[in-house]
Amino acid sequence: MGRRAAGSRAFTLIELLVVVAVIAVLMAILMPALSRAREQGKRAVCLSNVKQFGLAWVMYADDNDQKIVNACTVENTEGHNDQEEPCWLYFHDGWTDVERRIQGIQDGAMWPYVGQLKIYKCPTGIRGEVNTYAIVDCMNGAMSSIPNVPANVYIKNRSQIKRPGERMVYVDEGRTSTQSWTIFYDRASWWDSPPTRHGEGTNFSFADGHAEYWKWQDPRTAKLARREGDYGSLIALPDNPDIQRVQRAAWGRLGYEP
């Protein structure tokens, strides 16, 4: 009684240390892969959200003689040429009251077409955010916000869009501003910061209802989005291909010679 069975023995300290070391190595190998898989899952959910917004945007136009929804988030936005149009969502009283922000979503013109709060927020959004998406300025946004943009470049009706599969509508930008998301028209420069929600890029929807993930080609774009280095030196970059790509998708053309 009390004696160990014949042929059995306890692990030595060295053997236990070897087992622990093997487990640590396996964890070091698996954790980055699990992290990437988790991020890819969040990106996929966000892409689905953006696509649903894109389809809702198309349905709204179909129900309104192809007139597209107001991209602003504040009633009577200065520079918007039809201040009676309902906003796609409403920016109520800043960001301090979550219930008011939710009410602003439900009061918006897109709510009947979307109908679920969870679709308004990217899975990578921080606590307290209720909306992380915005419409680009060109799509019926505030016309006075960007200098030197011809009035006929702003889209009010889907019939104005010649290649809807190439024209950007929604962007996952983080907290939506009191205006639509925009970029300069007449120079190679960002206006709003480039978003970088997922890896080194973000999700966009387009005027035909489809959605895409865009990975930034220039490392300076992601650096600007993360607020690394000299912010001012990263905004205006004539040789940054990401700027021209976004400008063509947002405005339909470049307002300058590259």
The model's pLDDT over 25-59, given as tens digits with 9 standing for 90+, comes to 877 776 666 666 677 788 899 999 999 999 999 99
Tokens 């899952």 sit on residue? 41
In a domain? residue 244: yes
- Report whether pLDDT(118) > 80: yes
**How confident is the model at residue 1, as a pLDDT?**
47
In a domain? residue 175: yes
| Nearest Cα residue to 223 out of 213, 238, 233 | 233
- Report whether pLDDT(8) > 70: no
Q: Residue 67 in 3-state DSSP?
A: strand
- Report whether pLDDT(77) > 70: no
CB-CB neighbours of 196 under 10 Å: 20
Domain count, the chain: 1
**How confident is the model at residue 12, as a pLDDT?**
81
Tokens 């024209």 sit on residue? 167
In a domain? residue 38: no
% of the chain exceeding 70 in pLDDT? 81
Interior angle at CA 33, CA 28 and CA 35, nearest 5? 95
Residues 6+ apart with CB under 8 A from 64: none
- Report the relative pairing of strands 211-215 and 133-135 from DSSP bridges: unpaired
Q: For 11-20, 133-142, 194-203, which range has the lowest pLDDT when averaged over its residues?
A: 11-20
**How confident is the model at residue 178, as a pLDDT?**
56
The arithmetic mean of pLDDT across residues 70-97, rounded, is 71
In a domain? residue 18: no
In a domain? residue 24: no
Q: Confirm if 226 and 195 have CB atoms less than 8 A apart.
A: no
Beta-sheet strands, E only, within 24-159: 133-135
Q: Residue 108 in 3-state DSSP?
A: coil
In a domain? residue 5: no
Interior angle at CA 161, CA 250 and CA 187, nearest 5? 30
Question: Rounded to an integer, what distance in angstroms lies between the CA atom of residue 154 and that of residue 137?
Answer: 8
**How confident is the model at residue 208, as a pLDDT?**
96
Question: Rounded to an integer, what distance in angstroms lies between the CA atom of residue 255 and that of residue 149?
Answer: 8
**How confident is the model at residue 30, as a pLDDT?**
67
Best mean pLDDT range from 94-98, 105-109, 147-151: 105-109
- Structural domain containing residue 114: 45-251
**Mean predicted lDDT score pLDDT of the chain:** 84
In a domain? residue 16: no
Question: Could you read off the pLDDT of 156-180 as tens digits, one per residue?
Answer: 999 999 999 999 999 998 655 556 8
- Half-sphere exposure for 90 (CA within 13 Å, toward CB): 16
202 has which bridge partners? 214
In a domain? residue 61: yes
Residue 64 backbone phi and psi in degrees, to 5: -130, 45
**How confident is the model at residue 51, as a pLDDT?**
96
Residue 121 backbone phi and psi in degrees, to 5: -130, 130
